[in-house]
Amino acid sequence: MNRSENMASAAQGRQIRTMDIVNRGLAGRYRAERRFKRFGLSAIILSLVFLAVLFISIFANGYTAFQQTFVQLDVFLDPLKIDKEDLGAANYQGLVQGSLAKTFPDVKNRADKRKLYGMVSSGASFDLRRFVQKNRHEIGNTIRIWVPADDDVDMLVKGHILRDVPEVERRMDDTQIAWVDHFQHQSRIKKEFNMTFFTGGDSREPELAGIWGAVWGSFYTLLVTLCLSFPIGVATAIYLEEFAPTNRWTDVVEVNINNLAAVPSIVFGLLGLAVFLNFFGLPRSAPLVGGLVLTLMTLPTIIIAGRASLKSVPPSIREAALGIGASRTQMVVHHVLPLAMPGMLTGTIIGMAQALGETAPLLMIGMVAFIVDIPGGFTDPATVLPVQIFLWADSPERAFLEKTSAAIMVLLLFLVIMNGLAVVLRKKFERRW
């Protein structure tokens, strides 16, 4: 072979060798790529599994709370015991107890009588009073009324108290279970949708406890937060992005805002206690103060989101506006701000969703308290939904376990709705330049 042929075949040989090397490594490369994909997929699946476990366990614990057991009683409205002029003052508790005593006449012992009277909720007397006040003509007759059952009976009917364990290990003894069975045989026990959970305020009796007070407290608090943090946050973002000169002072402000976003939320509570309660003298446990504290907490989120959305508006829009004669302020407000608004709204909704779930900063300003009355305004004492969950989780009664899980479900629903709204808004109004 001559020299060129040598070179050609040598070159071919080198080419073949390179291809060989590539081919040999190709399988390994594909394997590595598949492994990488599998790691990513399994990470996602793992997190989804944890999420599913969380939701399923909360749902499994809480779905029974949406039903309440009711007991039907025959109550004789003794006209001697009810004064027609003063319906509210009668001893309705006594009437309820009388009805129970008539149903089980062989219960004589004092301790047994207490157990018998404990079968229905203490709210039964109030239900009876409401009935009599609405139906005065029934005084003197025997009426049938459905009253809420005591939380232990409720737990038994729902199956949370097991019947087949020895008596000493049970919350309800055999006689109490026999009474419940007697009522069930007479079809005097039913499970209905638990409206009290949604219309009642906090209570020490689980069967009368509801989240309505906490929902209103959350509403007032978030309203204050929104009204204060949105204008201030948007204005700050606009100033920092459009008008602020690039000097050291602006840098200091920027660094501090970014740091505030990372400060633990309880610090804001301490600030609220020192400044709003002690210095300004605002009322303790009021949604006004809660809203002020949460404003401080969500401002950094809104400012950072606002700045990001302002930055995303292309400079061509600004230059075009300036080019046709708009002033600086007109350019910002009429041209840039409307285009950046969807991003700002998304940031605000996410900030609000975070504020809805906060408990720690409200601890210091007194919103972690037992408050029964539904708040009527911004200065009435109130509590918020996450705090209500925290307080119920600490109660010894077994029935509060399901109520806590149900309240968690309601809170999660609100949060999912808010975050879902943010995603929908973003998808709908986002403009890709």
Partner 1 sequence: MKKIVNSVFVLTLGAVIGLGTGIGFAGSSRDYISIVGSSTVYPFATVVAEKFGKTTSFKTPKIESTGSGGGHKLFGSGVGVQYPDITNSSRRIKKSELEKAMENGVTQIVEVKIGYDGIVIANSKQGPSFQLTRKDLFLALAKEVPAGDEPGKLQPNPYKTWKEVNLSLPDVKIEVLGPPPTSGTRDAFVELAMEGGGDEIPWIKALAKTDKKAYQALCQTIREDGAYIEAGENDNLIVQKLSANPAALGIFGFSYLDQNTDKIQGSLVDGVSPTFEAIADGAYPVSRPLYFYVKKAHVQTIPGMMEFLAEFTSEKAWGEEGYLTDKGLIPMPEAERKVFKENVVNLKPLSLGDL
Question: Which residues make up the interface to partner 1 (CB under 8 A)?
Answer: 110, 114, 118, 122, 126, 161-162, 165, 168-171, 203-205, 227-228, 231-232, 235, 276-277, 280-285, 288, 329-330, 333-334, 366, 368-373, 379, 381, 391, 393-398
Min CB(372)–partner 1 separation in Å: 4
- List all residues 6 or more positions away from 296 whose beta carbon is below 8 Å from its beta carbon: 260, 268, 271, 272
Nearer to partner 1, 272 or 353 (CB): 272
CB of 100 to partner 1, least distance (A): 16
Of the pair 124, 422, the CB lying nearest partner 1 is at 124
CA–CA gap between residue 154 and residue 160 (Å, rounded): 9
Would you call 13 exposed, middle or buried from its count of C-beta atoms within 10 A (0-12, 13-18, 19+)? exposed
Supply the minimum distance, in Å, between the C-beta of residue 47 and partner 1.
25
Task: Give CA–CA dist 139/376, Å, rounded.
Answer: 35
Q: Which is nearer to partner 1, 78 or 205 (CB)?
A: 205
* Closest distance to partner 1 from the beta carbon of 187 (Å): 29
Residue 280 or 433: the one with the smaller Cβ distance to partner 1 is: 280
CA distance 164 to 141: 41
Cβ-based nearer residue to partner 1, 241 or 422: 241
Q: Which is nearer to partner 1, 277 or 304 (CB)?
A: 277
- For residues 162 and 195, which CB has a smaller minimum distance to partner 1 in the complex? 162
Residue 115: is it exposed, middle or buried by C-beta count within 10 angstroms (0-12/13-18/19+)? middle
Residue indicated by tokens 């400012």: 303
Instruction: Report whether 67 contacts 414 (CB < 8 A).
Output: no
Q: How far is the CB of 235 from partner 1 (least distance, A)?
A: 6
Helices assigned H by DSSP within 239-286: 248-260, 265-271
- Least Å from the CB of residue 121 to partner 1: 12
Structure tokens at 146: 């459905």
Closest separation in Å from C-beta 172 to partner 1:
10
Q: Do 238 and 302 touch, CB atoms closer than 8 A?
A: no
Q: Which residue, 224 or 257, has its beta carbon nearer to partner 1? A: 224
Least separation in angstroms between CB 196 and partner 1: 14
Spell out the residues 6+ positions from residue 322 whose beta carbon is closer than 8 angstroms to its own.
328, 331
Reading the block at residue 309, the tokens are 């959305």
Cβ closer to partner 1: 177 or 418?
A: 177
- Residue with tokens 């309820």, as numbered in its chain: 96
Minimum distance from residue 220 beta carbon to partner 1 (Å): 14
**Among 153, 69, 158, 144, residue whose Cα is nearest residue 103:** 144
Nearer to partner 1, 28 or 281 (CB): 281
Instruction: Assess contact for 135 and 127: CB atoms under 8 A.
Output: no
Q: In terms of CB distance, is 59 or 239 closer to partner 1?
A: 239
Half-sphere exposure of 282 (CA within 13 A, CB side): 22
Instruction: Work out how close the CB of 36 gets to partner 1 at its nearest, in angstroms, rounded to a whole number.
Output: 38
Cβ closest to partner 1, residue 317 vs residue 415: 317
Instruction: Outline where 63-191 has alpha helix (H).
Output: 92-103, 110-117, 124-134, 151-158, 174-185
User: Which strand ranges, in their side-by-side order, compose the sheet holding 142-148?
Assistant: 142-148, 67-76, 189-193
Shortest CB 109 distance to partner 1, Å: 13
Here the tokens at position 341 are 């608004």
Report the alpha-carbon angle 326-331-335, nearest 5.
120
For residue 157, the minimal CB distance to partner 1 (Å) is: 17
Pair 250, 239: CB distance under 8 Å: no
Among candidate residues 313, 307, 308, 349, the one with its CA nearest the CA of residue 334: 313
